[in-house]
Amino acid sequence: MTSPSPEQEYADRRYRSPAGIAGGVLLLALAGWLGGDAVARGEGSTPWLALAGLLCVAPLIIAFTLRPAVFAGASRLLVRNPFRTITLPWAAVDAVRAGYSSEVLAGGSTYQLWAVPVSLRKRKKAARGGGEAAPADQTVAELQELAERGASREDAKGDVGVRWAYEVLAPAGAGLVLFVVLLVVG
């Protein structure tokens, strides 16, 4: 996180799912353990199949657990989802909402916020207790406020940018192709 500059009222903010990160680390450890065992003790084509499987599975685990993040700055919102990165200048953001999932509406499109999971159980508990809102609702309200404040900034204007995450897709695809080839060749 950076410290605020004189023209910036707040520091850049980052939102991630701690449970997603913990689950990703555990899944990577499990895949590494099982794959490493297959490479070390396997015979024939088993070690090669295990390596190809790891090459396919590891990027997908990373994509769905460790990669998702939302970065809110003074002039834009950056949403990093499993397979895409979306750059949304605040002026392009129409709304931020949370229903069954957290979403940003911009330019007639809806983008999911994978890093801000909605817990219906926490939402019901907050409603029963009459206390604070659920964490996802707090985050969405905060992002909506930032969008409203940032929309008037001159550097917050522009088009929505969407970039595919080839750094995830390429190794996963290569691992899948290699795995299928090794299965067919036998």
What is the H or E stretch that residue 106 is in?
strand 102-106
3-state DSSP: the chain helix, strand, coil percent, rounded to 5? Answer: 50, 20, 30
> Which among 89, 144, 90 has a CA at the least distance from the CA of 116?
144
The whole-model pTM stands at 0.84
Q: Which sign does the torsion angle of CA 175, 177, 178, 179 carry? A: positive
Distance (Å, whole) CA 67 – CA 64: 6
Residues 6+ apart with CB under 8 A from 28: 58, 61, 62
Distance (Å, whole) CA 103 – CA 97: 5
83 three-state secondary structure: coil
Residues 6, 61 contacting (CB under 8 angstroms): no
10 Å Cβ neighbour count for 96?
27
Distance (Å, whole) CA 17 – CA 1: 17
Tens digit of pLDDT per residue, the chain (186 long)? 444 444 445 558 999 999 999 999 999 999 999 999 999 999 999 999 999 999 999 999 999 999 999 999 989 999 999 999 999 999 999 999 988 899 999 989 999 999 998 887 877 777 777 666 778 888 999 999 999 988 888 888 989 999 999 999 999 999 999 999 999 997
